[in-house]
Chains A and B, each alone.
Chain A
Amino acid sequence: MRAFRIDGRPGAPGFFALPRGVAGSLALLAITAVAAGCGSTSATTTKPATTGTPASANLLGAAYDTSTQSPVTLNGAGANSIEPFFETVFYQYNQKNPNTTVNYSPAGSSVGVTDIQQGTVAFGDSEIPMTASQLAAATGGTVLQIPVDLGGVAISYNVPGVTKSIDLDGPTLAGIFDGSITNWDDPAIAALNPGVTLPNLAIKAVHRADSSGPGYDLDQYLIDTAPAWVTAIGTSTPSRTWPEASVGIGEQLNTGVATYISQTSGSIGFVEYGYALQNGFVNAAVKNSAGSFVAPTEASIAAAGAKATSLSPTDFNVVNEAGSGTYPIANFSWTLVYQKQTDTNTGIALGKLFDWVITSGQEDAASLGYAPLPSNVVTLAHNTILELESSTGTPLFSNGA
């Protein structure tokens, strides 16, 4: 492992002698110089246009090449649901840019939020953007929230003899998770699935024991579609902590839920689609707002994401979106970074990394069970990255494209 320079200033050893602000400006010059190499001569830092940037090109231009950067280790923590995606893209980025090493701890969205609030990590990640009160509790100033992937929550089950997707709607799912439907041959399930032979087998519902993004999304879907669910949990505000913890069993993280489903016949639970794909689960086709039953796939999750035309950290809900081919339980994952980066070298490395993740990194999304970000979301993410500043308030990037 490469040594991590604590002072973190970029460039030649001579930089050590310079005051931080000067080093920062020189770093900015260096970035501009690299950008100049690919045709841009502008050193200004004006905000870029918000439309019309192609998703395929890398938005920071050649600036994402870190071969001249001094070695940086970026530590992150957060959502468990994004782990299969992050694991792959961080590895590939490191292969291309060995000077940036990323360690990601998939301990859960709540950990991502807490860790960034306390400044113990370079970046956090949460399946749900931070709320106003959470942002206010951040110790390092303004937190930038960058949408980095688009995923779906699969309803996976393990029922002997049922090898195809069964159809489930909101009220039936609510019944399964609030304990009013307890057997697989229940009339409510049978009515939705004529022609499917359902066994006389007890339902073992499994939910997340820790607070989670997938739990929040499914809670939101059930609140939207099943009045009985709202009555059962006594609120119409979705919660990251699973609200019906006294029914079925709780397991930790996607991994725990997936493990339980794979080894227990009669089980049904919810996991991030990436985990369902890894485990080869059979997933339910869930009734969407157009009335059709849709199973999670890259296309059906992408269809949900495409409806997020006005996506922002305060308007992030893509559950139960319109369209007959839309999977109803989808969500964006948000990377959390401080706008003011006390360490310029780290800040530049972070910006380059995530600009690569939202562009080239998306090519891996489909094979891992995620959908590529829609182009308007890529633009939003890119513009958010451009807001990164040094400790003195100087922008770290110009629009290098």
Chain B
Amino acid sequence: MSPDAVSGLAGAWPAGRVRRALLRKRSRFGDGAYSALRWAGAGLFGAVVLGLLVGIGSDSSAAFAHSGVGFIWSGTWNPAAGQYGAGILVLDTLLTTAVAMVLMVPIGLGTAVFLSELAPRWLAGPLSTLIGLLAAIPSIVVGLWGLLVLTPIFANQVEPFLASVPALGWLFRGEAYGPSILLASVVLAVMTLPTMVSLSRSAFGGVPLADREAALALGATRWQVVRRAVFPAARAGVSAAVTLAVGRALGESIAVAMVIGNRPAIPESLTTPGATLGSAIVNQFAEASPGIGTSSVIALGAVLLILTVLVNAGGQALLRSGSGSQAHTAGALR
């Protein structure tokens, strides 16, 4: 209701003037309170972020002073011998996230397209509910499922089979332990899938029906409609979904620690055990030795923070540089 409508209504009332004055007064008070709340909220958020950064920075400074900047890429993480380096952990973190995205994004996009463009309504509803449920499962439960159900299957069937595939065997060579970079990636893929599906689905849902109809009228097939009309328009939403999924995969700790095998060594293949920044933090965080050990674990958190920011920024830059040419080709329907 617009302000004019309110005053018009009030004018027709006997007690209109009083009421209008009251309304105005109340709304001024409300405006003030809301404004204060906004500033307080923004200030609090800023303070929390700043406090986090300062805390991580000061607590990890001892580790960086001890190991130098080389902490970030130095390869040996062996707290028992007092050797602290995040290099292999960074490598494995990027590797698990990349493999998880390779596995997850096509399936997630496919499911979202199916739900939004192809599925009959009686199927799309229940399926979306199921995917919502999957999103609500705590990561430790997914980790337990990976540990108890997937680990023996990977150790006895999946990993030996992959190693025997002629052209790809080198990617999966080595002892089939079960817990491995591949298994961690599969678990991460399962964990990030629901976010990907629901966010991309709403992005597709936001594409105007007229775009689709226009494409169909031009004689496009169903696939061409999706490829040429829906995808380009939903690009921002889909990339936001991928960004969120990447962020979660980079930082996931508990579930990864349960299925990756916790071996901080250079991986010889995807089926060797590994260790990520998150899993190392989970495993070492309780270590009571104050000083350099604790500081190094917090420094892992700092590296993870930097890595997440860099990957996100890189993704955004990639998106921006690609969007020009994409828009160009998107215009022309074949």
Contact indicator B264/A245 (Cβ below 8 Å)? yes
Please provide the chain B residues from 263 to 308 with a CB less than 8 Å away from any CB of chain A in the complex. 263-265, 273, 275, 279, 282-284, 286-288, 290
**B79 in contact (CB, < 8 A):** yes
Contact indicator A248/B263 (Cβ below 8 Å)? yes
Q: Specify the main secondary structure of chain A where it touches its partner.
A: loop
Q: Using A239-B80, A243-B78 as known contacts, say yes or no to A110 and B257 having CB atoms under 8 A apart.
A: no
Contact indicator B287/A241 (Cβ below 8 Å)? yes
**B177 in contact (CB, < 8 A):** yes
Which A residues are within 8 Å of any B CB, using their own CB?
107-108, 110-111, 113-114, 117, 133-134, 137, 202, 204, 209-211, 233-235, 239-243, 245-252, 256, 259-260, 263-265
Contact indicator B263/A250 (Cβ below 8 Å)? yes
Instruction: Write out the residue numbers on chain A whose beta carbons fall within 8 Å of the beta carbon of B155.
Output: 263-264
Instruction: Write out the residue numbers on chain A whose beta carbons fall within 8 Å of the beta carbon of B262.
Output: 209, 245, 249-252
Instruction: Write out the residue numbers on chain B whose beta carbons fall within 8 Å of the beta carbon of A246.
Output: 78, 263-265
Q: Per-residue CB proximity of B75-94 to A under 8 Å, as 1/0? A: 00111110000000000000
**B108 in contact (CB, < 8 A):** no
A114 to B257, CA, bound (A): 21
A sample of 20 inter-chain contacts (CB < 8 A) reads A114-B286, A137-B290, A210-B283, A211-B284, A233-B80, A233-B81, A239-B80, A240-B287, A245-B80, A247-B263, A248-B177, A249-B177, A250-B283, A251-B262, A252-B258, A259-B148, A260-B151, A260-B178, A264-B155, A264-B178
**B51 in contact (CB, < 8 A):** no
B271 to chain A, nearest CB (A): 12
Contact indicator A264/B258 (Cβ below 8 Å)? no
**Count of interface residues, chain B, beta-carbon cutoff 8 Å:** 32
Contact of A243 (CB < 8 Å), options: B81, B175, B179, B258: B81
Instruction: Write out the residue numbers on chain A whose beta carbons fall within 8 Å of the beta carbon of B290.
Output: 133, 137
Contact indicator B257/A252 (Cβ below 8 Å)? yes
For the complex with contacts A240-B287, A263-B148, 4 further pairs of A-B residues with Cβ separation under 8 Å are A117-B288, A241-B79, A241-B284, A248-B263
The 9 lowest CB-CB distance pairs between A and B, nearest first, are A250-B262, A249-B261, A246-B265, A209-B262, A243-B80, A239-B80, A110-B286, A113-B288, A241-B80
Instruction: Write out the residue numbers on chain A whose beta carbons fall within 8 Å of the beta carbon of B175.
Output: 202, 204
Contact indicator A210/B286 (Cβ below 8 Å)? yes
